[in-house]
Amino acid sequence: MQDPGPVDSPSPDGSPVSGLRWTEELSILGETLRLLESFFDGLPPFQVDWKVDPMRRELLALARELADNDPYFHPLYAGQMLKPPHPVARMAWALSLFINPNNHALDGGRATSRLEKSCIRSLGQLVGWTDPLGHLTGGGTVANLEALWVGRERQPSRRAVVASEEAHYTHRRMAGLLGVPFVPVPVDSRGHMQMAALDAILERADVGTVVATVGTTGWGAVDPVDEILVRREQHGFRLHVDAAYGGYFSLVSEHLEPLTRKAYESLGACDSIVIDPHKHGLQPYGSGAVLFRNPEDAQVYAHDSPYTYYTASGGHLGEISLECSRSGAAAAALWSTLNLFPLDPGGCFAKQLWDGCLAARDLADCLARDSKWTILNRPELDILVFSARARSVREAGQFNRRIFEATRGQGLYLALFEVPGHRLVSAQPALEMDQATVSVLRSCLMKPEHRSWCGEWIRRLEAAWAGSVGKAARIP
């Protein structure tokens, strides 16, 4: 790997990129650890059998192994949904590991169970729920599984799960796991669930849960939650919202396009919602969340455990979650982050989210002005999908794959995305449709710093285009 350009390197406009160096975090962690340690000072000493040198050797070996990663934390990384955890989250997580609480039951993690409940109340604010049922999970997959499972258990029979063709693949898999049919709904030209197609499905199938995606994985598209709600009135299904990616954007919904804003304004009426703090919430991996509007959904989780739940009646998070042992450190990290960045539409965190959206729009505008590129979406959130111009769909795919490799050589990190060829043809109508699907370039502009790096990003992209496609491209 090339020099990743550490987080303290200056941006092209000369301003500092980030306040902290990684190693500086250790001094804060040291100070907080000394305080934590002092609370346990009264315990009789005991022997531990560990030696410094072998550990140091192994950790140095690990550091070398970890070098085999792309620099996900840097503004020049703009590929997959990878956003660096905030230092406060990292340090809170690390601090908690010295206790290693387990949020399954109160006797394993009293403090962090309390913090987790506080986090769930905060996340509830994103959809206007004051004290929702819910808990953190290992990630979006388990969170969605729980919502679909609760949906299945609260229905009279094994009814179908319906989600758009652009919904995350997990929904089809989880429906299979739950033994219920899965029905995909076609999308419109912007990747939104088509209402006419949903109507046709609702007429012919026994639908238990409709999943609306708020921020699709590929395009960051937002399904029309408000319109789906109208159909819920008529058909009585449950509405689950997969906002694993897009949930936090409700803080900036007033700036979004009118239809997107309407979808966000309707979130409070859904039955359940998934929001992943490890996507946009500045958290390390292992941080998803599922929330339910109706506290009575808790009855689906009802079970007893002969080993736990003896310290108090009620209040154990394991009583309302599918996973058993769960990291209390995840709750600690999220709690500290939410204290530092309250979920306030006018606050600093909201501004940072909006900066990512602006970065995606700026880049889209820049590329649209250049005849070498075709834009496939006007970013609804902060995900931009684009392609090199070519004569045919097949050629565009070849160009994009070459550019993808070449950008890495330029120290710019994008992602590839396989989409139906007609998506590219509708953006560039002169194109010959000689292949069903095509690899295009995709970029998740999740970091607020992305905005000030747009110029540098374009410069490197142009160099990659010149070095890989260059003269081969006869632009129609």
Ligand X SMILES: Cc1ncc(COP(=O)(O)O)c(C=O)c1O
Provide the binding-site residues for ligand X, judged by CB under 6 A.
81, 139-141, 144, 168, 170, 213, 217, 242, 244-245, 276, 288
Q: Which of 243, 240, 181, 177 is nearest to 207 (CA)?
A: 181
Report d(CA 87, CA 284) in Å as an integer. Answer: 10
Tokens 């097949």, residue located = 394
* Closer of 29 and 149 to ligand X (Cβ): 149
As measured in angstroms, the least distance from the Cβ of 161 to ligand X is 14
What residues contact residue 432 under an 8 Å CB cut-off, 6+ apart? 391, 392, 393
* Closer of 81 and 185 to ligand X (Cβ): 81
As measured in angstroms, the least distance from the Cβ of 243 to ligand X is 8
* Closer of 75 and 281 to ligand X (Cβ): 281
As measured in angstroms, the least distance from the Cβ of 301 to ligand X is 20
Q: Are strands 133-137 and 415-420 parallel, antiparallel or unpaired?
A: unpaired
What residues contact residue 125 under an 8 Å CB cut-off, 6+ apart? 343
Report d(CA 47, CA 50) in Å as an integer. Answer: 9
- Decide: 73 and 11 in contact? Cβ < 8 Å: no
* Closer of 170 and 352 to ligand X (Cβ): 170
* Closer of 166 and 395 to ligand X (Cβ): 166
* Closer of 383 and 425 to ligand X (Cβ): 383
* Closer of 146 and 242 to ligand X (Cβ): 242
Helix H or strand E segment including 72: none
Q: Strand pairing partners for 419?
A: 438
- Decide: 423 and 433 in contact? Cβ < 8 Å: no
Q: Which of 37, 130, 24, 91 is nearest to 332 (CA)?
A: 91
Report d(CA 101, CA 326) in Å as an integer. Answer: 8
Four-point Cα dihedral 181, 187, 193, 194, nearest 10: -100
Report d(CA 165, CA 419) in Å as an integer. Answer: 11
As measured in angstroms, the least distance from the Cβ of 244 to ligand X is 4
As measured in angstroms, the least distance from the Cβ of 305 to ligand X is 26
Name the residue whose CB lies closest to ligand X. Answer: 140
As measured in angstroms, the least distance from the Cβ of 160 to ligand X is 19
Report d(CA 209, CA 232) in Å as an integer. Answer: 10
Report d(CA 283, CA 287) in Å as an integer. Answer: 7
* Closer of 242 and 319 to ligand X (Cβ): 242
Report d(CA 169, CA 246) in Å as an integer. Answer: 16
Q: Which of 332, 330, 321 is nearest to 285 (CA)?
A: 330
As measured in angstroms, the least distance from the Cβ of 285 to ligand X is 8
* Closer of 281 and 288 to ligand X (Cβ): 288
As measured in angstroms, the least distance from the Cβ of 82 to ligand X is 10
* Closer of 210 and 425 to ligand X (Cβ): 210
As measured in angstroms, the least distance from the Cβ of 246 to ligand X is 7
As measured in angstroms, the least distance from the Cβ of 218 to ligand X is 9
Cross-sheet strand order for the sheet of 160-164: 133-137, 288-292, 272-274, 238-242, 207-213, 160-164, 182-185
Report d(CA 232, CA 162) in Å as an integer. Answer: 13
